[in-house]
Amino acid sequence: MTRSWWGWGHVEDAVGARERAKLVERVRAVLPDADLALHEPPDPATLPVPRSRIAPRFDHCSADPVDRLAHARGKAFRDVARNLAGQVSDVPDLVARPRTEQDVVDVLDWCGHEGIAVIPFGGGSSVVGGVEPRGLAGPVVTLDLGALDRVLEVDPVSRAARIQAGVFGPHLEQQLKPHGLTLRHFPQSFEFSTLGGWLATRAGGHFATLYTHIDDLTESLRVVTPAGVSESRRLPGSGAGPSPDRMFLGSEGTLGVITEAWVRLQRPPGHRAKASVRFAGWPEAVAATRAVAQSGLYPANCRLLDPAEAFLNAGTGTAVLVLAFESADHPVDSALQRALELCRDHGGESTVEDTSAAWRSSFLRMPYQRDAMAQHGMITETFETACTWDGFDRLHAAVTEAATDAVREVCGAGLVTCRFTHVYPDGPAPYFGVYAPGRWGSLVAQWDEIKAAVSEAIATAGSTITHHHAVGRDHRPWYDRQRPEPFALALSAAKRALDPHNVLNPGVLVG
Amino acid sequence: MTRSWWGWGHVEDAVGARERAKLVERVRAVLPDADLALHEPPDPATLPVPRSRIAPRFDHCSADPVDRLAHARGKAFRDVARNLAGQVSDVPDLVARPRTEQDVVDVLDWCGHEGIAVIPFGGGSSVVGGVEPRGLAGPVVTLDLGALDRVLEVDPVSRAARIQAGVFGPHLEQQLKPHGLTLRHFPQSFEFSTLGGWLATRAGGHFATLYTHIDDLTESLRVVTPAGVSESRRLPGSGAGPSPDRMFLGSEGTLGVITEAWVRLQRPPGHRAKASVRFAGWPEAVAATRAVAQSGLYPANCRLLDPAEAFLNAGTGTAVLVLAFESADHPVDSALQRALELCRDHGGESTVEDTSAAWRSSFLRMPYQRDAMAQHGMITETFETACTWDGFDRLHAAVTEAATDAVREVCGAGLVTCRFTHVYPDGPAPYFGVYAPGRWGSLVAQWDEIKAAVSEAIATAGSTITHHHAVGRDHRPWYDRQRPEPFALALSAAKRALDPHNVLNPGVLVG
């Protein structure tokens, strides 16, 4: 399998002619005036990648232009659009591929000494400009951790494993399988993202409730910082000062390079119960979802799709709540039955039909389809947040209005959708989708305008600029408004203490 | 009701003559040679409290000697023993009682300007020297937040409330009750500790699984720091950088003064199911408890008592697992039945007898009984930690041996017990008890020797120096070994940024 240099995932899994025709047809039905001409991606070898400004210092460093190009950006719509347009701007000077933790230490020492910026790189699936050397004046080394890909130790009694940070999702699970254990952290990027990336960005995973973020599955971290290696103790819980792990979780490569973690595992679930519930209206669907989220039933899946999302994904025009319970220990049918009862209280009609497999497959196809449609000039992108239940209606109205207005102004037409990816007793994590016909040549500028409008609406509503996609460089202005100023002072001071030469992912989070 | 100046809780609830006689008799049965002469506490007005070195700056400041004495220490055994012995050493110069957040700001401004140390004080129930101005050369103001005791806002939709930090447990619940909501955070100190104290020390509460610490019930924090007021957004979940709240949770007054928090609430549980399970041996009991902890059943109570603890608390000499399930939404009998099945797999015999009420009442009497026995020269103290299941047997053996050896050497005899207060899928939080006949006049020195021995054993085993009692001044040497050095650098830098004059609880956590 070959990784696409310009788009999502594997070249072999890209949207083929038949799937593409169907997608174009579906869009044309809704947007008859859209210009949907197909644009092929450029040959990366022909792109004007700037010459590397530094000589490879270690034998694991590559200065190959296409290699560097493939490490220059994440996989957000704006990355794909720029790649398709052949826009080459900020490209790292070298790609380093450490084979040992000592290699990581050596790269940080070298870069600190020479004042070279270091961008830690896992799977490169950032959708927030997290791995892009944007606007950095000096030389840049991208530190690709993919060679650190082993499960080093399994503790079957405590159900935990020590795992190197560069391992990709499938390879991680494959190594755990012989032990009868699983991490069950399945972000949409699962195939193309790494444990270290999940930890550094506080990634959201499989579980819609309880263990929603990788944070909750983290037992201890090992982090190489320019000031030394930080290793926390393996502790199921602690009250000894502020949590060291919680400082590195979400630090996005600005405080150090995560090289290993002990993570919490479980046995694969043998008991499952699933259902889909349809609602006459969105408010009833939201109220039912809140009831389930506050019930203490803790469904593994609790994904609410608004009518537009449901139509795009399942061809039905009513709000749908996809519910699933799972357990390795005990039957979960009664939990599902109680959840369905709560849904019925709000007019929800459950169906025996299990849409979760269809949803999962459609979920994993989405990024490929987004890329295919980008080739036709379609802007397809998502953004997510979290808010209290009390504030949801206001947030939803404000964001929908801001996005709809922006899409109309910028693109003339378009669709804005909403779903919940995770839910908590005190609020949901809404995930919005935007589908709009762009102008070839202006896709990035158009999206940036829409993104700014929705980010403003989220910030004004007092919600978070990201629930599980990290801050990166794209969210920085709104993140700066979100975090309390004294915390910014503290984090900046911590950064200066750990990274005195300010070489670690400059521009992200602080500074 | 009158708070005891020297011991736990209310004077009116102290152990009376009959209860005292019973306790003495019970001890004499086990330790026939112990000198159990009764010593009455001194009259605090006669103690040589040093003169205050600073003039009250605000009308809410008190320089009264007994008031200052009552704020000079927490409520650990070593505090009580020193009080009983009339040992007066480090006493704050003033007790400030801010009535508004602005009062807090003003005190910090004043103290920063004058270089006066500030010790935030909630209920004063610290058992780790967290509120004691030990070894501070300059003047000290203790900031008693008890006047900030209101529930300011309730959001019944999201089930959350904005609450001032100085409120004590019962008053907090009393204000929530009319809303049909509860925080259900019930540490042993519930009556005599405050929300702000819980947050600053990462207190452990009611729930044995899932929401074990107040951390998990925290939606947002408002903190006055010398560098400004920090207020995080109300978010059910977020992935925007390292969590600001997690930096202040457990900061023990070193980074700022928590004045308010939004906390997550729930409806009172209408469904309950309880049982006690007895085991022939300790290893079987531990294995069964692990099975329950890893089952995903999430009992509200899952407290394992070793045979000695069970004997002291319930008069039975076999290991007992106290199990309780609760829900506001659905029956929990099947969850209990499944947990009992898991226990039976390990030979556990469940009894219809519900010991949880007896346990609860005995649990709340413990500190009073500890004080009564301290008057007879008995050393009664606990310490807690957390470890992985894999490492538990080794930890338990090492700590038990260290404690037993120390007790034998220092006191000639004594008893060491173990229970689990909280359990996680990857490990338990063991809580040890020490009961030994001390020498009147040397109780503190004797306990310090025992405490150092057990702390060494915990540190050597790689466990945490505290699961939910905080670090304070007593745990500092072992905390310094526990935390990763780069994290210490980062935390110290954060402290310097927020508290540039180093006036906030100096000596705790950093510096």
**Average pLDDT over every residue of A496-508:** 98
Could you give the percent of chain A with pLDDT greater than 70?
99
DSSP-H helix ranges across B51-140:
65-70, 77-84, 101-114
pLDDT at A85 > cutoff 80: yes
Give residue A498's pLDDT. Answer: 98
DSSP-H helix ranges across A351-426:
356-374, 389-411
ipTM rounded to 2 decimals: 0.97
Q: Is A317 left (phi over 0), alpha (psi -120 to 50) or beta?
A: alpha
Give residue B351's pLDDT. Answer: 85
Average pLDDT over chain B, rounded to an integer: 96
- Of residues A204, A422, A489, nearest to B497 (C-beta): A489
Domain parsing of chain A, residue ranges = 40-144, 151-264
Average pLDDT over chain A, rounded to an integer: 96
B191 and A CB contact within 8 Å: no
pLDDT digits (tens, 9 = 90+) for A14-24: 999 999 999 99
Q: A18 is written with which tokens?
A: 């038949």
Q: Do B157 and A390 touch (CB under 8 A)?
A: yes
Rounded CA separation B71/B121 (Å):
8
Give residue B71's pLDDT. Answer: 96
Asked which of A425-429, B144-148, B359-363, B402-406 is least confident by mean pLDDT, the reply is B359-363
Which residues touch B162 (CB under 8 Å, ≥6 apart)? B151, B152, B153, B154, B260, B261, B262
Work out how many CB contacts closer than 8 A connect A with B.
Answer: 309
pLDDT digits (tens, 9 = 90+) for B457-510: 999 999 999 999 999 999 999 999 999 999 999 999 999 999 999 999 999 999
CATH number for domain A40-144, candidates 3.40.50.300, 2.60.40.10, 3.40.50.720, 3.30.43.10: 3.30.43.10
Q: Which residue of A has its CA nearest to B389?
A: A158
In 3D space, the residue among A273, A425, A286 whose CA is nearest the CA of residue A354 turns out to be A273
Give residue B471's pLDDT. Answer: 98
A465 and B CB contact within 8 Å: yes
**Average pLDDT over every residue of A179-192:** 97
pLDDT digits (tens, 9 = 90+) for A203-239: 999 899 999 999 999 999 999 999 999 999 999 999 9
Rounded CA separation B492/A241 (Å):
12
Kindly state the greatest CA–CA separation across chain B: 67
Q: Do A239 and B427 touch (CB under 8 A)?
A: no
pLDDT at A363 > cutoff 90: no
Give residue B320's pLDDT. Answer: 95
Q: A107 is written with which tokens?
A: 């790269």
Give residue A356's pLDDT. Answer: 67
Sign of the torsion formed by the C-alpha atoms of A259, A264, A267 and A273: negative
Give residue A160's pLDDT. Answer: 98
pLDDT at A59 > cutoff 70: yes
Superfamily of the domain at B271-460: FAD-linked oxidase, cap domain/gating helix (3.40.462.40)
Rounded CA separation A167/A53 (Å):
30
Give residue A137's identity as a one-letter amino acid code.
A
A278 and B CB contact within 8 Å: no
Give residue B511's pLDDT. Answer: 87
- Of residues A204, A295, A468, nearest to B329 (C-beta): A295
Q: How many CB atoms lie within 10 A of CB B405?
A: 14
Polymer length of chain B: 511
Could you give the percent of chain B with pLDDT greater than 70?
99
B394 and A CB contact within 8 Å: no
Give residue B466's pLDDT. Answer: 98
Chain A residues 318-377 within an 8 A CB cutoff of chain B: 327-330, 334, 338, 342
In 3D space, the residue among B133, B62, B157, B143 whose CA is nearest the CA of residue B109 turns out to be B143
Rounded CA separation B485/A493 (Å):
16
CA B226 centroid distance within chain: 27
Could you say which architecture CATH assigns to the domain A151-264?
Answer: 2-Layer Sandwich (3.30)
pLDDT digits (tens, 9 = 90+) for B221-251: 999 999 999 999 999 999 999 999 999 999 9
**Average pLDDT over every residue of B21-26:** 93
- Of residues B157, B422, B426, nearest to A264 (C-beta): B426
**Average pLDDT over every residue of B259-268:** 98
Chain B residues 141-160 within an 8 A CB cutoff of chain A: 155, 157-160
Give residue A315's pLDDT. Answer: 73
Identify which has the larger pLDDT, B315 or A277: A277
CA A300 centroid distance within chain: 19
pLDDT at A3 > cutoff 80: yes
Give residue B353's pLDDT. Answer: 63
